[in-house]
Chains A and B, each alone.
Chain A
Amino acid sequence: MSGHSTYQPQSGFMKWMERRLPIGGLVHSSFVAYPTPRNLNYWWTFGGILSFMLGVQIITGVVLAMHYTPHADLAFKSVETIMRDVNYGWLLRYLHATGASMFFIAVYIHIFRGMYYGSYKEPREVLWILGVIIYLLMMATGFLGYTLPWGQMSFWGATVITNFFSAFPGIGEPLVTWLWGGYGVGSPTLNRFFSLHYLLPFVIAGVVILHVWALHVAGQNNPTGIDPKSDKDTVPFTPYATVKDGFMIVCFCILFAWFAFYLPNYLGHADNYVPANPAVTPAHIVPEWYYLPFYAILRAIPNKLLGVLALFGSIGILAFLPWLDTSKVKSARYRPLYRQFFWLFFAVCIGLGWLGAKPAEGIYVVLARILTVYYFAHFIIILPLLGIFEKTKPLPNSISESVLGSKA
């Protein structure tokens, strides 16, 4: 991490500490002196927002775990005890439940920002892949967490998702039984899901540290996609980036509070206020909104195994993005064609999300198939070809030139 040598410990204690554990220098070089491109726009604040949300989820989650009971007979009741009797329990639970959705809103913006500005390209491939791993871990954590209230959607969501693994020929059935710890989803399943739901956020935090490390080695991308060339192109992280991130975190909290206080159940399902009943499946099993595009891909394919593979493939393909996009130019700002395909891809993802919430019948299936094909074509056909055939716009000479005009 650059700028390490500039750190001058102020107090005697920090001088003493610096020779033994240079944590002051580490913080200083990573979050104070660290040079950030001066032209970062507000889309770049979502990394900070995501760190904040991870903290919120871990703190509220640890606190909720003090009151929650992972047992099939008691889970629903313990959640209701949190909602009714625990001091501020309703607040903590609603923050945690809507917080999950806020986390995903932020991560989707973060991912699409990376795609738009080509932040996955050399030398940031590892940074991007670590991000894909974090996203996968988030999806697993979110799913496990949604099981815990043990309502109808919890139970049947867990049943459907664990049945993905029954698609694998030969090992499928024993694998699912192993996941359940029984002959169906039940108390053993719930208990292990709780354990893993508690574990994974800390794994996420660990990968986030690697993600930030990789970021600070490669340096941040920026809207022009060209590297900083001189000190004029950058500003120190503190105070510039910290105050900007801080401002956006507070703005994001307004959105968060709007949902947590006024629409706490908007992003959930009414069926999850019905206690889990293994004898009755709800009329419409729909996952949380953040899984809907992938759910649509799963259902678009009429073969069980292929559907599950397509589902995993649709996320896995993101890891190969740095090599599928063959263009030398990073930012969509200078790639007029890519920019259009980016927005088309964005619309396709939204469309898949909408289809995921619709019943799998009639016109919806046809649409889902078309959009699924397009989703994969974007990565496998469009991006590799674009890099070859696209005529890009001229890049500015430096970041400061693009910000201040050529007079700088």
Chain B
Amino acid sequence: MTTVSSAEHTRRDFLYIATGAIGAVGAAAVVVPLIAQMNPDASTIAAGAPIEVDLAPVAEGQIIKVFWRSKPIFISHRSKKEIEAAQKVDLGSLPDPQPDSARVKPGHDQWLVVVGICTHLGCIPLAHQGQYEGWFCPCHGSVYDTSGRIRQGPAPANLPLPPYAFVSDTKIRIG
């Protein structure tokens, strides 16, 4: 092998780098579909479209469960007593302070709509249980009040609110 001049050396290095770079770009591009395929497919996304729920048949004091995007949604028709209990609480005593007014739609105090999944590790809490008459999670003992706020136990946050709006006084659209 003859000695390689430095100019030729640079040209050769450039060629190697360019080839390697193009190869790396190709490999990265191949990874895109392999990762993307695990995301929800088009039919799953379409099935997650907003749903409408008729509230008329829900009696006062009753809690119904509907499903939206594979999640249970609790719709609670709260009694006067429950509303008052939720509004009276001293916010300073709450692990995740939030007034009841921030958890319902204005003028619809009697309707509480929350995602029914315990914020601890994803179990479904039981309705009308626990010392605050709200929800009690049987898995690890988290207790929620009538506003769906965490009061006791290992859960770090209140039951989240799904995006929803009142279409009429007795109908909501979730999503």
Complex Cα spacing A67 to B39, Å: 11
Complex Cα spacing A88 to B38, Å: 10
Q: What residue in chain B is nearest A95 (Cβ atoms)?
A: B33
Is A10 positioned at the interface, with any CB of B under 8 Å from its CB? Answer: no
* Cross-chain contact A85 with B41 (CB below 8 angstroms): yes
For the complex formed, measure the closest distance between the CB of A389 and the CB atoms of chain B, giving whole angstroms: 47
* Cross-chain contact B37 with A89 (CB below 8 angstroms): yes
Residues of A within 8 A of B38 (CB): 66
* Cross-chain contact A91 with B41 (CB below 8 angstroms): no
Is A230 positioned at the interface, with any CB of B under 8 Å from its CB? Answer: no
* Cross-chain contact A63 with B37 (CB below 8 angstroms): yes
Is B28 positioned at the interface, with any CB of A under 8 Å from its CB? Answer: no
- Tally of A interface residues using CB under 8 Å: 13
* Cross-chain contact B33 with A81 (CB below 8 angstroms): no
The 8 A CB mask of A294-331 against B (1 = contact, 0 = none) is 00000000000000000000000000000000000000
* Cross-chain contact B34 with A86 (CB below 8 angstroms): no
Q: Which of A85, A87, A92 lies at the interface centre, i.e. has the most chain B CB atoms within 10 A of its CB?
A: A87
A-B contact pairs, 13 of them (CB 8 A): A66-B38, A67-B41, A81-B43, A84-B43, A85-B42, A86-B37, A87-B36, A87-B39, A87-B42, A88-B32, A88-B36, A89-B37, A92-B33
* Chain B interface (Cβ < 8 Å from any Cβ of A): 32-34, 36-39, 41-44
* Cross-chain contact B37 with A66 (CB below 8 angstroms): yes
For the complex formed, measure the closest distance between the CB of A93 and the CB atoms of chain B, giving whole angstroms: 10
Is A59 positioned at the interface, with any CB of B under 8 Å from its CB? Answer: yes
Q: Which of B34, B36, B37, B39 lies at the interface centre, i.e. has the most chain A CB atoms within 10 A of its CB?
A: B37
Complex Cα spacing A168 to B36, Å: 48
Q: Which of B32, B41, B44 lies at the interface centre, i.e. has the most chain A CB atoms within 10 A of its CB?
A: B41
Q: What residue in chain A is nearest B46 (Cβ atoms)?
A: A85
Other than the given A59-B34, A66-B37, A87-B39, 18 more pairs (CB < 8 A) read A63-B37, A66-B38, A67-B41, A84-B42, A84-B43, A85-B42, A86-B37, A86-B42, A87-B33, A87-B36, A87-B37, A87-B41, A88-B33, A88-B37, A89-B37, A91-B33, A92-B33, A92-B34
Residues of A within 8 A of B44 (CB): 85
For the complex formed, measure the closest distance between the CB of A256 and the CB atoms of chain B, giving whole angstroms: 12
Residues of B within 8 A of A86 (CB): 37, 41-42
Complex Cα spacing A158 to B36, Å: 33
Residues of A within 8 A of B34 (CB): 59, 63, 92
Residues of B within 8 A of A67 (CB): 37, 41
* Cross-chain contact A92 with B42 (CB below 8 angstroms): no
Complex Cα spacing A389 to B71, Å: 80
Complex Cα spacing A84 to B34, Å: 16
The 8 A CB mask of A58-73 against B (1 = contact, 0 = none) is 0100010011000000
Complex Cα spacing A86 to B34, Å: 11
Complex Cα spacing A81 to B42, Å: 9
Residues of A within 8 A of B32 (CB): 88
For the complex formed, measure the closest distance between the CB of B153 and the CB atoms of chain A, giving whole angstroms: 36
Residues of A within 8 A of B43 (CB): 81, 84-85
Q: What residue in chain A is nearest B38 (Cβ atoms)?
A: A66
Q: What residue in chain B is nearest A64 (Cβ atoms)?
A: B37
* 8 A Cβ contacts from A341-366 to B: none
For the complex formed, measure the closest distance between the CB of A65 and the CB atoms of chain B, giving whole angstroms: 11
Complex Cα spacing A91 to B38, Å: 14
Q: Which of B33, B36, B38 lies at the interface centre, i.e. has the most chain A CB atoms within 10 A of its CB?
A: B33
For the complex formed, measure the closest distance between the CB of A75 and the CB atoms of chain B, giving whole angstroms: 17
Q: What residue in chain A is nearest B42 (Cβ atoms)?
A: A85
Residues of B within 8 A of A63 (CB): 34, 37
Complex Cα spacing A86 to B32, Å: 13
Complex Cα spacing A67 to B34, Å: 13
Q: What residue in chain A is nearest B44 (Cβ atoms)?
A: A85
